[in-house]
Amino acid sequence: QLPTGLYKKVLVILHDSVLPYMNEPTLMMDFLTVAYGIGGAISLLALNGLFILIHQHNLEYPDFYKKLYNLLDPSIYHVKYRARFFHLTDLFLSSSHLPAYLVAAFIKRLSRLALTAPPEALLMIIPFICNLFRRHPACRVLLHRPAGPADMSEDPYVMEEEEPSESRALESSLWEIQSLQNHYYPDVAKAAAVLNQSLSEMEDDISGLLELSAYELFDKEIKKKAVDVPLEFEQVRGLFGKKNDIFAEHFSLD
């Protein structure tokens, strides 16, 4: 057992400063699988090392996707390692051999969590979800049911279910993204509206959106050129703007 701080320091550098220089990287299998089961930030950081062992050293991990699915909680859009996590999640969900129920469960869970996510995370996660639809056309049934449930209790999707195959995601609809089309931030509403149209064949490049921060969004907004919006169609005359108002005889606007 290692202290939490030491776990994080080791896992941050393990995939690029340790594993490539080991004669037998498979010796780290037990350490990484235990770290992956701890939860929270430690599990996120263990993904890098696990990816190398799965991809290059044939590590078999039967419950890998179940644990990855259960890492998705409201904090995932706010954590320090968000960019790293979604980069790896994108890689893990890139295989066309994944079953539709599994990908649909990820889409639905990410969409549900997006309801409370900040704008900078939404601008990344909406294209992320669009890419999943492009890779897995069988999941588009979620888009073909545009009318969402009258209230959340009628949605067949079971958010609390830990097993993706039991979550009933394929029976649901993507009403969460439809609700984001009314988001207060215009760029988010515009991004969510893409799902109203036919998706292009080409995947969106999300690499530039993974590190997007609230500061960058704010900086972009204050640098926008202001457009003068006419508020009155007639020039104001008098105190209350009426031509023949009695106040216009006694008050003037200079």
Euclidean distance between CA atoms 20 and 15, whole angstroms:
7
| Percent with pLDDT over 90 in the chain | 19
pLDDT of residue 234: 66
Q: Which of 142, 62, 135, 141 is nearest to 110 (CA)?
A: 142
Overall pTM > 0.85: no
Helix 29-36 × helix 40-57 angle, to 10°? 140
Residue 33 has pLDDT above 80, yes or no: yes
Average of per-residue pLDDT across 233-253 = 67
Q: What is the mean pLDDT of the chain?
A: 84
Contacts of 43 (CB under 8 A, 6+ apart): 35, 36, 37, 67, 71
User: In this predicted model, what pLDDT tens digit does every residue of 68-108 receive, in sequence order?
Assistant: 898 898 888 888 888 888 888 888 888 888 899 999 999 99
**DSSP string over 135-165:** H-GGGGGGTS--S--SSGGG----TT-SSGG
